[in-house]
Amino acid sequence: MDKTYTFSTFSLKPESDTLLQLHPIPLQQVTVITDNVSEDFCIIGKHETLGETIFNSLLEAGTNRKLKVRLVQDTPTKSRPNTDTADLATKGAAQVRTIYFRKLFGSGILHTKLWLVDRKSAYIGSANSDWRSLTQVKEIGIYIKDCPCLVEDIGKIFDAYWMLGEPNAKVPGVSLPHLTTTINENNPLFVKIDNSVAGVYVTSSPPSLCPDGRTTDFQGIKNVISRATKFIYISVMDYHPLIDVYSKKPKYWGHLDDHLKSAAIDSNVEIRMLISSWTSTRDYANYFLRSLADINGAFPDTKIYIAPPSALDPLLVQTLVGSEMMTPERNLLRTVFENCDLVGLAFEVHDSVKVAKEKDLNDDSPHAEFESSRIATPGFMEIFHYSFCYIGVLTGPYFKYRMYWDLFNAPFSDNADCLRDTTNKLKPVPFFGLAFLISSYFFPLSYALTDEFYFERSVLYRLWYLYPSFFNFRMRMYIGMQLSECVFTMAGLGAYPQVTEPKPGQGPTKEYTTLARIAADPELAKKEKYDFEAIHNIDAWNSDFKPTIRSSMKAWNMTIQYWLAVNVYKRFPIKAYRMPVTFAISSLWHGVYAGYYLCLCSVPTYLPAEDIFNKNLRNNTLPAGVDKVWAFIRYWYKMLHFSYWSMAFNLLYVDRCFRYWSSIYFIPNLLTIAMYAIGFTVFSNKKKDDRKSDEKFADRVDKSTKTE
């Protein structure tokens, strides 16, 4: 990664600095082993220059400086093509050989990363020769110079790989004299590091590529574990005691796992592990880590480092915007505080200044409505207190500054039955909680990330699994939103007289003159009945059981919908684009994960098709019994689309979303296309027939009138 770490006695340089330090040195040759060479940068900024500089340095070494550049690479794939190495070879800058591990060994990949310069200096490390490793991914390596014996020994490892890259190559075996070594665990080289003597030897794998005298990777790691007396600290990308991890049926290989457990039990050694988490990390890695934790008495430390798997990954967006601290998701705190409260306040001030010039404030006139929500321009401290008001700072719902002002300056909250309304809102929470615990236990979202889910489950099962996953999501959101409303009702924020018919987010909608009299007369305020509809954010029943997506959406996150409608939808100048822009803004304040956009931006593509069907079918009278079947079909169809979209919302990453959606063949998308096709053909023809029928009826009426 492109960072420098300084400790008390030494510092760690970025890999890019080390590789660039190697390049000016060579007089004769540069040799490289890597699983991937790439300058294919999909990002903009300082990071792209690092890999490009190294690539151009190799190109210049092989062309202008006429050095012998040899490069060994892994088998190219569609996702990791050999475009750049082919470019080096075509321009005569390097000799490139490819090792086909599947052909030679039946499986496996080239995972060695090794640079040699004139057989005098070397770099061994974990970093691939691509932009991710140089700029975004946690890597480590060792730069060796002024130690010709060790560098020459490392060169023998390269020679073995170079032989494997020949046409019709075979595994060289363990007895080739020029590849054997005497430097191993029993006979290490002794070098000075910070005035301390250390024994050094280089290991390799697989065993069939370790000639006589070479210690294998497994043997070297096992020896280190067995000699530990106090602690073992491990940093590794994945921890899978398995063979063929990414196949349908991986096989258990617990040799190293057993040695770690033995060290923990027999020697009471402290074990700490730093494990990377990737989109391809398997869930069962946690089970192996827990088994170590049960023995060792402390769960291994885990830190997440994610390399962007695609151009839509949030880490890429962080680089594009130049922010190393941007988080890819937003919790409800940031949503309400950053995007709703302050933006809404700005428009409240704008509208208040505009309405201040109006004179006609008769009851129920549009001006009276604005007057009821009119605010004085707040100062810095008022804005600060409103923004950080504890009542809504955690999870919302959204409330206008006028509601906040009324809490302290109107008698509404003093006369509202806060305890009654809070109790009523709490009643369904135990059911939601129990339903969530049971359903999420049997149908966890994590199961949709496993290979078993895709390889051993049918398409119908994966299609059905959308429903319990969406059920879990709804129950979790219902719990959070109901409890959030309880905070408001207990504080009295959002209480208004029922006679004004308050609506979510908006507040009073009529009887504005009456509202003003109640606010000014404490005795009159005591006689009124109050409710908290102004901060009512979720209607679970209608959200679940309304027959259409459009009607169900109106019962979900209602105060935020009001904010979107007033501040985005109605203010956007181009009417045709209001809906997609509104959903795009909604996606943005959720975060930058691709799943949010796949979910929310899919809705406006569906709603017109739904409207066409409802308009043409809502007046049709169905026989008794059939109408119930039709109602069930509509409900199932609505929930199918909601569940389909919510899966993307929960899976977050674009590769995970498309893996799931493609596994069910994008059925909801295809059904939407079919709805449009029917709407533009069948229903269009139906309209023409109805129009002709009306014209014929009108003609008959005219003729009848003339005859009379």
Q: Is the distance from CB of 506 to CB of 465 less than 8 angstroms?
A: no
| Residue 557 is a catalytic residue | yes
User: Are residues 143 and 280 part of one domain?
Assistant: no
Domain check: are 120 and 46 in the same one?
Answer: yes
User: What integer pLDDT is reported at residue 40 of this predicted model?
Assistant: 39
Do 165 and 237 sit in the same domain of this protein?
A: no
Q: The CATH number of the domain where 103 resides is what?
A: 3.30.870.10
Please check whether residues 149 and 268 belong to one and the same domain. Answer: no
What is the pLDDT, as a whole number, of residue 346? 87
* 563 assigned to some structural domain: yes
| 238 and 146 inside one domain | no
Does a structural domain hold residue 535?
no
Q: Which has more pLDDT, 113 or 78?
A: 113
Model confidence over 284-336: pLDDT tens digits?
677 777 776 666 554 444 444 444 444 444 443 333 333 333 344 444 444 44
Q: Which of 128, 339, 557, 650 is catalytic?
A: 557
Look up the pTM and report it: 0.55
The catalytic residue among 23, 259, 590, 641 is 590
118 and 264 fall within a common domain: no
* Last residue within a domain, chosen from 304, 326, 348: 326
- Comparing 607 with 700, the larger pLDDT belongs to 607
In which band, very low, low, confident or very high, does the pLDDT at 432 lie, cut at 50, 70 and 90?
very high
Residue 248 CB coordination number (10 Å):
10
More confident residue, 676 or 369: 676
Percent of the chain with pLDDT over 90: 21
Number of domains in the chain: 3
pLDDT (0 to 100) of residue 696: 53
Give yes or no: residues 160 and 237 share one domain: no
Q: Which residues pair with 216 in a beta bridge?
A: 204
By mean pLDDT, which of 39-48, 372-381, 471-480, 522-531 is the weakest?
39-48
| Residue where one domain finishes, among candidates 171, 198, 220 | 171
pLDDT at 404 exceeding the cut of 80: yes
The answer to whether residue 54 sits within a structural domain is yes
Express each pLDDT in 265-283 by its tens digit.
Answer: 888 888 887 777 666 666 6
Residue from 113, 187, 114, 194 nearest 149 by CA: 187
**Span 383-402, pLDDT tens digits:** 888 888 888 776 778 888 99
Residues 245 and 136 grouped into a single domain = no
In a domain, 336, yes or no: no
Residue 494 neighbours by CB under 8 Å, 6+ apart: 399, 403, 488, 502, 507, 532, 533, 534, 535
How does residue 528 score in pLDDT terms, banded at 50, 70 and 90? very high
pLDDT at position 142 over 50: yes
Coil, helix or strand at residue 478: helix
Q: Which pLDDT belongs to residue 363?
A: 45
Inside any domain, residue 389: no
Residues 22 and 148 in one domain: yes
pLDDT of 45: 36
Query: In terms of domains, do 655 and 574 share one?
Result: yes
Is 348 part of a structural domain of the chain? no
> Does 643 fall in a domain?
yes
Mean pLDDT of 481-497: 93
pLDDT-wise least confident of 4-18, 213-227, 473-487, 613-627: 4-18
Residues contacting residue 543 through CB under 8 Å, at least 6 positions apart: 474, 552, 555, 556
Average pLDDT of the residues in 80-88 = 81
Based on the domain organization, do 18 and 126 belong to the same domain? Answer: yes
CA distances from 257 to 224, 241, 379 (A): 13, 6, 63
Burial class (CB in 10 A: 0-12, 13-18, 19+), 485: buried
- CA nearest to 115, candidates 105, 104, 107, 127: 127
In a domain, 404, yes or no: no
Which is more confident, 106 or 505?
505
pLDDT tens readout for residues 670-708? 999 998 998 888 777 655 555 555 555 455 545 555 555
Cβ atoms of residues 392 and 559 within 8 Å: no
Distance between CA 271 and CA 290 in Å, rounded? 12
- Tell me: pLDDT of 488 over 50: yes
Whose structure tokens read 């490289």?
Answer: 32
| DSSP-assigned states of every residue in 493-524 | TT-EEGGG--BTTTB--S-HHHHHHHHH-HHH
**CA 447 – CA 449 distance, rounded (Å):** 5
What confidence tens digit (pLDDT) does each residue in 180-223 have?
899 999 999 888 777 888 889 999 888 888 888 899 999 999 99
The predicted model gives 110-119 an average pLDDT of: 85
| Average confidence (pLDDT) over 470-493 | 93
Query: Would you place residue 456 in the very low, low, confident or very high pLDDT band (cuts 50, 70, 90)?
Result: confident
Q: 128, 150, 171: which is the final residue of a domain?
A: 171
Calpha distance 304→238 (Å, rounded): 11
**Is 533 a residue whose pLDDT tops 90?**
yes
Rounded distance between C-alpha atoms, residue 15 and residue 122, angstroms: 13
The pLDDT, as a whole number, for residue 419 is 94
User: What's the domain range around 652?
Assistant: 549-708
Report the amino acid identity of residue 519. Answer: A
- Environment class of 603 (CB within 10 Å of its CB; exposed 0-12, middle 13-18, buried 19+): buried
Same domain, 91 and 236: no
* Mean pLDDT value across the chain: 78
What's the average model confidence in pLDDT over 364-387?
Answer: 71
Task: Over range 253-257, report the average pLDDT.
Answer: 84
Query: For position 534, what pLDDT does the model report?
Result: 92
8-67, pLDDT tens digit by residue?
A: 344 456 655 666 555 554 455 666 666 555 443 333 334 456 667 777 888 888 888 888
